[in-house]
Chain A
Amino acid sequence: MAASVSWAAAIAISNTQGLVFGRFVGGSGGDVTVSPAGGRSASGGVVLVPSGPGTAAQFIVSGDANLSYAISLPGNGVVVLASGANSMAVNNFTSSPSPTGTLGAGGSQTLSVGATLSVGSNQASGSYSGTFDVTVNYN
């Protein structure tokens, strides 16, 4: 009996750059949004400080060449950035590509992630940080 076994290389994802909302004045509150392309914008009373720009998060997804994969981003109400007892919520995660990706001929693809940060009125000054998970699976 002859049998042949073939299987796809395991899909993997590694983080190469964080999701940075940068430096800003909270003022009367509002949102800071970073797009997957890395552009930063503010709404409401938030004033961006130009010398502290934002960056989109970047991941490298790898596996079998030319296979497609689904992308799962955090839902709303899950991710929070904290500074001591103070926090700000991160929602509306977006990615590029979305909602699926396709690994290139070399078996990898860059996945960029953005989101929207909610800044409260009179948000306490400080450095805030948190983590978020991105899941990829062959589809």
Chain B
Amino acid sequence: MKSGKFLAFNRRVLNAALASAVALGSVGVVGNAYAAVGTGVSTATVVPAITISASQRDLAFGRFLIDATVGGGTVIMSSASTGVRTKTGTGLTLVAATPGNSGQFTVTGDGGATYSIAVAQTTALTSGANTMNASTFTTTPSTPGTLSGTTGTSGTQIVYIGATLTVAASQAAGLYTGAYTVTVDYN
């Protein structure tokens, strides 16, 4: 009898101890079960602005002759690093001694970055009241360009410009000049 009660008492105590042990265990394993903290990483990359130099070489079509009785034509300057000049129109004759050249700029910015290159569609060259239009501008590289080097260092690229000059049969002789715009933006 005495031993029976003792056993019953022990059993109850043991059950209570187990319940509390389980509760303590769950809290002990996870710390505060009702709150948790997460950590994230945040990043940002600051790069220098992309810039384009002042013109380093004029886009020059050189000298040429027009025979008004035959007709006008076009003078084409390629965008190669050493520009190649060609022409159309039997009335137009290129003067070899003045071969002209492609235009040249240098673009600077974050190394390895790619960027778009945009050139105005049409530009007028004028000589007093007389005008000829340059159009169909081309570039080497063609857009997009890629700056030298790797990000975090300064990178550059030279851009060459070509175009097509339209010459009228009655185009007056003279020195014609104009300006064109090149715009670059990071991609």
What is A's interface to B at a CB cutoff of 8 Å? 1, 3, 5, 7-15, 17-27, 32, 47, 49-52, 57, 59, 79, 81, 83, 88, 90, 113, 115, 117, 119, 123-138
Known: A8-B34, A15-B39, A133-B40. 17 other contacts (CB 8 A): A12-B30, A13-B38, A15-B40, A17-B40, A18-B43, A19-B42, A21-B43, A49-B113, A90-B42, A113-B40, A125-B46, A129-B41, A131-B41, A132-B40, A135-B37, A135-B38, A136-B38
Which chain A residue has the least Cβ–Cβ distance from B38? A13
Q: Is the interface of A mostly helix, strand, loop or mixed?
A: strand
Known: A10-B33, A25-B49, A127-B45. A133 touches B38 (CB 8 A): yes
Question: Is there an interface contact between B187 and A50, defined as CB atoms closer than 8 Å?
Answer: yes
Residue total for B at the interface (Cβ-Cβ under 8 A): 30
CB contacts (< 8 Å) of B26 on chain A: these are 7, 10
Contacts of A136 in B (CB 8 A): 35-36, 38
The answer on a CB contact under 8 Å between A18 and B152 is no
Question: Count the A-B residue pairs with Cβ separation under 8 angstroms: how many?
Answer: 141
With a CB–CB cut-off of 8 A, which chain B residues contact A132? 39-40, 42
B43: which of A15, A25, A128, A135 is its contact (CB, 8 Å)? A128
Indicate whether A129 sits within 8 Å of B36 (C-beta atoms), given known contacts A25-B48, A25-B49, A49-B186: no
Q: Which residues of B contact A5 (CB under 8 A)?
A: 19, 22-23
Given A5-B19, A25-B49, A51-B187, A134:B42 Cβ within 8 A? no
Partner of A19, one of B40, B45, B186, B187: B40
**24 chain-A/chain-B pairs, Cβ below 8 angstroms:** A1-B12, A10-B36, A11-B34, A12-B36, A13-B38, A18-B40, A19-B43, A24-B46, A49-B113, A57-B40, A59-B40, A81-B44, A113-B40, A115-B42, A125-B110, A125-B152, A126-B46, A129-B43, A130-B42, A131-B41, A131-B42, A133-B38, A133-B39, A135-B35
The answer to whether A126 and B152 have CB atoms under 8 Å apart is: yes
Partner of A124 from B46, B110, B114 at Cβ < 8 Å: B46
Shortest C-beta distance, A45 to chain B (Å), equals 10
Which residues of chain B are near A117, meaning CB under 8 Å?
44
The distance from the CB of B21 to the nearest CB of chain A, in whole angstroms, is 11
Contact check, B36 vs A81: say whether CB atoms are below 8 A apart.
Answer: no
What is the distance, in angstroms, from B85's C-beta to the closest C-beta of chain A?
37
Contact of A18 among B37, B41, B46 (CB under 8 A): B41
Bound Cα distance A21, B43 (Å): 6
Task: List the B side residues contacting A129 at CB < 8 Å.
Answer: 41-44
